[in-house]
Structure 1
Amino acid sequence: MSETSTQQRPSEDDGGSGAVIPQVEIAQTRVYRGPNYWSYEPSVHLVVDIGGLEEYPTDTLPGFTDALLAAVPGLRTHQCSRGREGGFAERLVEGTWAGHVVEHVALELQRTAGHEITRGKTRSTGQTGVYNVIYGYLDETVGTAAGRMAVRLVNSLVRAALGPDLVGAPTVDADGVSGYGEHYDFAAEHDEFLRMSQRVAFGPSTQAILDEAITRDIPWQRLNSGSLVQLGHGVNQKRIRATMTSVTSSLAVDIASDKELTNRLLAAAGLPVPASEVVRRADDAVRMARRIGYPVVLKPLDGNHGRGVAIDLRDEEAVRAAFDTAYDESRRGYVLVESFIVGKDYRVLVIGGHMVAIAERVPAHVVGDGTHTVAELVDITNADPRRGVGHEKVLTKIAVNDAAVELVRAQGYEMTDVPPLGETVKLALTGNMSTGGISIDRTFEAHPDNVDIAEEAARVVGLDIAGIDFLCPDITQPVRETGGAICEVNAAPGFRMHTHPTIGEPQYVAKPVVDLLFPPGTNARIPIVAVTGTNGKTTCSRMIATIFKGMGRKVGMTSTDGVVIDDRLVIRSDASGPRSAKMVLQNPRVDFAVFEVARGGILREGLGYGRNDVAVVLNVAPDHIGLRGIDTVEQLADVKQVIVEAVPKNGSAVLNADDPLVRNMRRACSGEVVWFSIQPDNRMIADHCRRGGKAVVLEKSELGDLIVLVHGRRRMPLAYTHLLPATFGGKAMFNVQNAMAAAAAAYCAGAHLQDIRGGLRSFSPSYYSAPGRMNMTDVRGINVIVDYCHNAPAMVALGDFVDRFFEDTQTFERPQRIGVIATAGDRRDQDMIDLGVQAAQHFDVIVVREDDRLRGRAPGETAELIAEGARRAQQEGARVRQVDVILDEIESTREAVARANPGDLVVICVDRARAVWDELQVIAGRAQAGAEDV
């Protein structure tokens, strides 16, 4: 999820008095999955309304602080802004506000679930009683649940402090849970919260591999709700599911799953294995047991985790009793009868053909203390915080089932008996961790011959990661001399017995796994170039993609047009957000990524990836102001600055030196700054290059404007602007800037000068390569341009091009300029008026239309505001002589073309580029057909 909103506070809560209720309500919840406006790390953002609690800091709430610290004692250690342990508790005593309390409680609740997160902040929104609460998370499900639970706890304590008469009746939040109440059971909800945290957490094996990957700066992303994880990006990616990897042989897994086949292959290789036979009926199992010789073992042929295994069966009755259990656990209905090997149970972990860890597995048991019964001893053992259900913790709770009761009875006890002091009572025969067993590390004790046998077994089966189960009297002695055998070869073996042994030193078994997937010197990442700005993002992104496509790279690109993989449009939509970026990074063909990064995506979910090698910021202008809490152009610049903050020390930020707001972003860059500028003799750039820096500048010459790449003292000409198709002979200065930024970004990303020149010269702003970006077509001899221009700053740049368009035209008649303009309905009134004012400076005729999506405006409201600006400018002497309003986009297109004569210029600022382009082709086709008829 990315953003949700709760219901409004019910008016009846205040009894109709108009009083503001003293309680916390969550107005919005956002989850940022990468660097964002508030933090470089993934964060949860709650917009909370504390209502009447604005008048009740914590020091005015009787008993609140003591009750809070009693409920969540870990808060006593929080430093807060004091920078020392206990700082937050001091703030509570001195008086702080409820939003700040929610932040710290949410962090501490996550910590109780094992998620060590300390970063958080609470800031006012500027609206009385409404705050932005931001805190980090490791798992977004746990993080958001912690925030909601923190609000409910704070509200319940407020109710206890102020009393129901002042607070009013309990409310119900959007999740249907009481926001506060007399009977709020925090302890019960906290227990459920911890259980939920364990359910969504990775298992010990997966987490161990991820921890190792993170230490090596290998990016990862979860691909499902289970343990399927992608390590690395694009073409360099590998996948794991627990300890099964993308290089694990499927055939080897099938062989390991067939225990009878495994035994035959190992025996053929001269490795010690028990005698075995496969059966499907109990009678056959008895017959084979006689042939092999008692005692025997029964196990499902294709089972796992020790389920259905029965050992040390000494007679026909025991075999028949065990058969049904083994049969039920077999997926294909086959049961393996093996000779029983006497000895201890060892698991040898082999990765990449080499032994990395050995653990002795001890079956589930309890040790008598002379006081407690067997059942009580089991409860005491299961109370160990290291024990959980299944694989959620490093140890598994001991399950008391019928088999366990029978085993206890076979040892002469009932569950209600009290064993003598020091007496061991077994509750399982197999040493699997999943049945409650414990592990003892024996990695450095094994005899070399036994290690060789285990490694050879893994090679015979063909597994990259294998768990070899040894049964032998002593792993320190050669198994061929002391007796013993390999009883099983496991694919996807669990790591927790090695990473968290009950006794002994932990083994760092995840390191060889990551070495196997990413050998030293292997790059797990692909280059990422991020492009942002108010205008020009898509064109610049396409220019960069064109350059690297010409170099043979498989480029994945996101933009407002969609997702493009290797020059193929795979999704047609506005794909300038973080989810589209993740889609590109998941594609196994992509070896270079170019992301158009829009303001909305950053505010909604963050970047969606950890860092970008090159950040390009084209410009910052007043657009989208007043949306999502961004009320000034300076705040908008801070949003776009996020991609600059995501540049690593070895990366680069390409910044527009001609834009003051972009220029200020240099301070936020950890890597190098590369400037581009169309202004001549820029002193800052000259000083920058004198110190060895890089810049792309525009130089005047007799042959025209020349784009020059400067690196220290080297000056490298790239191209004359009039030779680049996207600049329309050098007249479209905004595309000159886009080309300069693209050249700088490509150079920083490793492109050679010739590749940069070739890419810029081959990029054409045609409808089929860049729809809606300065697409020119001829309709009845009329020059028609289709563009997405929708705000005043973009209109200034487009107007400059319109003014230059006829510079080289020699005609007795003055060509007419006609513009069809519009903007989105969620812009401010003044922004709409300004768009009309700017358009009036450059067009003779303006046709104002509206988008299909009105975004909260009444029909015609947006168009009238734009028209008002144009007419106001007309009265003040602007160029425009006629302003009309035609709301429908296609009708306005037809009208504009109908009013034009051959040689005129019509600029259509579109919303639905494809529909408009198709209509223009229809008009052109009709004109051509009419001419042929004549």
Structure 2
Amino acid sequence: MSRYEDIKLLRINYLRGPNMWTYRPVLETWLDLGKLEDHPSNTLPGFNARLTERLPALIEHHCGVGERGGFLQRLEGGTWMGHVLEHIVIELLNLSGMPTGFGQTRSTSQHGVYRMVFRARDEQVARAALAEGHALLMATINDEPFDVTAAVTRLRDKVDACYLGPSTAAIVGAATDRRIPHIRLNEGNLVQLGHGARQRRIWTAETDMTSAIAESIAGDKDLTKTLLKAVGVPVPEGQAVETAEQAWEAAQDIGLPVVVKPSDGNHARGVTLDLRKKEDILAAFEVAEKEGSEVLVERFIPGVEHRLLVVGGQLVAAARGEEFWITGDGQHSVRQLIDLQLNTDPRRGVAEEFPLSLIVLEDEPVIALDLQRQGFPPESVPPAGQRVMVQRTGTSSNDCTDLVHPEVAHAVSLAARTVGLDIAGIDLVCSDISKPLSETGGAVVEVNAGPGLLMHLKPAEGMPRPVGQAIIDHLFAADESGRIPIVGIAGSQGSAQVARLVAWLLHLNGRAVGLACGEGLFLGNRRVEKKNSAGWAPAHRLLMNRGVDAVVAENGASAILSDGLAYDRCLVGVVTDMGSLGQLDAHDIRSEEQLYKVLRTQVDVVLPEGVAVLNAAVPALVEMAELSDGEVLFYAADPALLAAHREKGGRAVFLQGGMAMLAQGSSEMPGAQVDTVLARYAAAGVSGLSADTVLAAVATAWALNIPPELISAGLDTFQPLQD
């Protein structure tokens, strides 16, 4: 069998927002099948068997058949390679831990060329999945070797490198559940929740309410203890030391056993517990000194370490720590036993989603010191049956939230408030979390800013806790969505002027308006950029601007096809016309039916409490009304076109004697003098304004509940833009 040439990837484009395919970001790829256009799956000997052997879970893909095994039915019946590539990529993403279920493949007007799309939360991961899927497909077609496991591993590494960490993802997921939009602000875990002036920001489990002073206090363990002791929170007695000899002297003053730790370390690094001998204390000092700027010696508190999460002054989750031991077999060394008995725990790994880290002795001087103190250095071989403690302060991973005594909850809440943290991880040692600290002799040993959430999301034992939801409820009141009014305007005739008029009317209504349209980028009345700003990037910039509490964005069909919309939902979505067909050949949009699918995107994203504003003079836009989740408001110069809508009690705007009339059902009232605005434009020699344009702006303003009197006054004072 001669080798088939690789399918050509003609164009790869990431659509960042709602688009003609779906509400979510997708990667769109244009494929040229070449000679494979004449060879569907059922004509390639052995292809289907090779593919399903490599990706057995393809049986779970329903495809258009709508049932398990649906895609395999399509394979056996014969389907084209673009469709096969779609399902391969989806399955690779599923295997790599970034599951997706959406994909589509459609032919274009060019023979053998297809548009294939799939859901993609991250562009880099999506491009990597496409490359791996393309290689796998060609290897399978040509009966060549391909290592699926290696490909999935590479994709997993890409997911780990590019996607949000588990703590951030939990908070973002909780925001999504409450329909609060989010924007990722960097390649790490800095995320904006909400838009414009109503936004909040998080960075893992820190928020824009987290005080820098409080974070600095939490990083200074000695200062933290001083403040906690002053308000009555029990803390272990201790003192700062500068030398190993001072550490031994302090230990004698405090009373053995003691703990030696760095004053500004984190994640228990450099912390050595239960020290009773001088040589151990001297060695522990050397370990702690390497991890922080100052060393503390503290009274050792007997008991189990717990991590308690406080959000907004309330305890929301608690986890109990574990000690980790190995058992000797008389044959393997301590190092080998750690790998055999502890590092094989499925909870351990190097990625963030693992609640426990792999134990690498070279990176854990405290563990190495503890082993030495027990008489079992890493290369020693413990006798059969000999138990050796490896890790005293393993990550707290067993949920115990329901056991926490109210007085303990009060103490950790007070500790967080005293330091000043809105979100805090409180490390507390006690023998029984269900009893007051006064009975157990327990104490708070550390207060942490930006605590990890994974132990509460995926506890080894007990119930996962909705800590992401608790943080979102802390940041946003129950009736807050983080959304600002967004007006999206799609069309090709006068849409920039509609956008400018609407922004002006919003400004008069007391809003700090950001405007992105064909005439530039505006903040209030100030044009900050003159270049064409109708598209994803300028509108996205406005959504990130804390000084903006309303956004008006123009989106032509080409912008929607190139990038998608900059917002997930809008309060008002406007479609003015079905023009621009001749300008979309590069996107292979050549019919009104295809254009309809593009422009409907603007209506699809209207919020349930929002309004779709549509031109009733265009039959296709009248049909589009049924797609709106919110109200529909029609406008047209001819009132006869609005009769049926008004009979149903709907709102409409029409032209009568040069006046824009606002109608709902049988009632009518004047909105604004259209002729006056048109005359002002004509006198200024500025083109681009028509009666339909003004009607669209008036209808949009009314959809925004701007009073008719203000609409009229706004049009009377609006000035055309002159360069």
For Structure 1 versus Structure 2, the TM-score category normalised by the shorter chain is over 0.9
Deviations 1:377-422 (A, max 9, x none): 634643454432152433333333364455445445566747756x
Choose from 422, 429, 448 the match for 2:392: 429
2:508 aligned residue (547, 550, 566): 550
The answer to whether the 8 Å contact 1:555/1:565 transfers is yes
Instruction: Give the 3 Å change call, closer, same or farther, for CA 186–380 of structure 1 in structure 2.
Output: farther
2:594 matched to 1:635?
A: yes
Aligned to 2:480, the other structure's residue is in SS state: coil
- Give CA-to-partner distance per residue, 1:92-125, whole Å, 9 cap, x none: 2222221111101111111112223111111111
1:283 pairs with 2:248: no
Aligned to 1:325: 287
Report the 3-state secondary structure (helix = DSSP H, G, I; strand = E; otherwise coil) of the residue aligned with 1:348. Answer: strand
Structure 2 CA distance, aligned partners of 1:452 and 1:589?
38
Residue identity matched to 2:313: G
Distance 1:462 1:605, change over 3 A: same
Count of residue pairs brought into register by the alignment: 716
Of residues 361, 381, 385 in structure 2, which corresponds to 1:400? Answer: 361
Residues 1:339 and 2:296 aligned together: no
- Aligned-partner Cα distance in 2 for 1:384–1:571: 57
CA offsets 1:523-558 (integer angstroms, 9 cap, x no match) = 410111111211211111000000010111100110
Verify the 8 A CA contact 1:707 1:718 in the aligned structure 2. yes
Partner of 1:39: 22
Counterpart of 2:675 (choices 710, 722, 741) is 722
1:603 equivalent in structure 2:
561
Distance change >3 Å, CA 76–CA 209, structure 1 → 2: same
- Fraction of identical pairs, as percent: 38
Query: Is the 1:389–1:396 Cα contact (8 Å) retained in structure 2?
Result: yes
Q: Does 1:708 align with 2:661?
A: yes
TM superposition score normalised by structure 2: 0.94
Kindly indicate whether residue 275 of structure 2 is the aligned counterpart of residue 305 of structure 1.
no
- Equivalence map 1:511-550=2 (5 Å): 511-550=469-508
* 8 Å CA contact retained: 2:4, 2:142: no
Distance in 2 between residues matched to 1:582 and 1:134, nearest whole Å: 23
Equivalence for 2:134: 151
- Relative to the length of structure 1, the TM-score reads 0.73
Distance 1:95 1:419 in 2: 64
Distance 1:225 1:456 in 2: 35
SS of corresponding position for 2:233: coil
CA distance in 2, matches of 1:546, 1:359: 54
Structure 2 residue aligned with 1:876:
none
Q: Could you say what secondary structure the match of 2:551 adopts?
A: strand
336-345 vs 364-373, which moves further: 364-373
- Change in Cα spacing, 1:476 to 1:538, as seen in structure 2 (3 Å) is same
Equivalent of 2:41 in 50, 55, 58: 58
User: Match of 1:714, as an amino acid?
Assistant: S
* 2:518 and 2:531 in contact (8 A); partners too: yes
Q: Paired residue for 2:78? A: 95
Counterpart CA distance in 2 for 1:734 and 1:225 is 43
Alpha-carbon distance, 1:243 to partner:
0.7
Q: 1:730 to 1:253 in 2, by over 3 A?
A: closer
Q: Distance in 1 between matches of 2:485 and 2:525?
A: 17
Residue 339 of structure 2 aligns with which residue? 378
Q: Distance in 1 between matches of 2:600 and 2:183?
A: 24
Does the Cα contact within 8 Å between 1:625 and 1:633 map onto a contact in 2?
no
Q: Match for residue 348 of structure 2? A: 387
Deviates more, 1:523-532 or 1:233-242: 523-532
Q: CA deviation at 1:264?
A: 0.5
* 1:143-178 C-alpha deviation (Å, 9 max, x unpaired): 221111110100111121xxxxxxxxxxxxxxxxxx
- Cα distance 1:60–1:462, how it changes in 2: closer, same or farther (>3 A)? same
1:169-216 alpha-carbon deviations (Å, 9 max, x no partner): xxxxxxxxxxxxx56433223212112212222222111111111110
Secondary structure, counterpart of 1:225 in structure 2: coil
1:233 to 179, 182, 195: 195
Shift of 1:366: 4.5
Q: Distance in 1 between matches of 2:6 and 2:370?
A: 57
Q: Which amino acid aligns with 2:461?
A: I
Q: Contact conserved, 2:242 with 2:294, CA < 8 A, in 1?
A: yes
Unmatched 5+ stretches in structure 1: 1-18, 161-181, 772-934
SS in 1 for 2:609: coil
Deviation at 1:730, TM superposition (A): 13
Structure 1 residues 45 and 517: alpha-carbon distance in aligned structure 2, compared to 1, 3 A threshold: same
Match of residue 758 from structure 1: 713
Q: Distance in 1 between matches of 2:130 and 2:337?
A: 38
Secondary structure of 1:650's partner? strand
**CA distance, structure 2, for counterparts of residue 708 and residue 59 of structure 1:** 62
- Residue matched to 1:903: none
Q: Are 2:703 and 1:742 equivalent residues in the alignment?
A: no
Shift of 1:518: 0.3
Rounded Cα–Cα distance in structure 1 between residues aligned with 2:67 and 2:711: 53
Q: Which amino acid aligns with 1:710?
A: A
Q: Which moved more, 1:616-625 or 1:509-518?
A: 616-625
Measured after TM superposition, the shift of residue 267 of structure 1 is 1.0
Give the alignment's Cα RMSD to 1 decimal: 2.5
Structure 1 residue 634, shift from structure 2 partner: 4.2
Distance 1:476 1:195 in 2: 41
Q: How much does 1:75 deviate?
A: 1.1
Residue number in structure 1 paired with 2:419: 461
Deviates more, 1:20-29 or 1:748-757: 20-29
Contact 1:122 1:133 survives alignment (8 Å):
yes
Aligned equivalents of 1:747, 1:371: Cα separation in 2? 82
Q: Deviations over 1:642-687 (max 9, x none)?
A: 21122133221111122234333223323222111112x41x4112
Tell me how far apart the structure 2 counterparts of residues 367 and 763 of structure 1 sit (CA, whole Å). Answer: 82
Q: Distance in 1 between matches of 2:558 and 2:345?
A: 48
Q: Secondary structure of 2:510's partner?
A: coil
Check 1:126–1:381 CA distance in 2 against 1; reply closer, same or farther (3 A cut): farther
The question of whether the paired residues in 2 share the 8 Å contact of 1:578 and 1:601 is answered with yes
Could you tell me which amino acid in structure 2 is paired with residue 565 of structure 1?
A: L
5 Å-filtered alignment, 1:11-410, equals: 21-160=4-143, 182=144, 184-330=146-292, 333-366=293-326, 375-376=336-337, 378-379=339-340, 381-389=342-350, 391-401=352-362, 403=365, 404-408=367-371, 410=373
> How many Å separate the matches in 2 of 1:371 and 1:709?
89
Within 2, Cα distance between the matches of 1:475 and 1:369?
35
Contact 1:266 / 1:457 at 8 angstroms: preserved in 2? yes
- Distance in 1 (CA, whole Å) between partners of 2:690 and 2:242 is 75
Given the superposition, is the C-alpha separation of residues 368 and 230 from structure 1 closer, same or farther in structure 2, using an over 3 Å criterion? farther
Q: Which has the higher contact order (CA 8 A, sep 6+)?
A: 2
Query: For 2:606, what is the secondary structure of its paired residue?
Result: coil
Alignment of 1:656-675 (within 5 A): 656-675=615-634
5+ residue gaps, structure 2: none
Question: CA–CA distance in 1 between the matches of 2:688 and 2:234?
Answer: 78
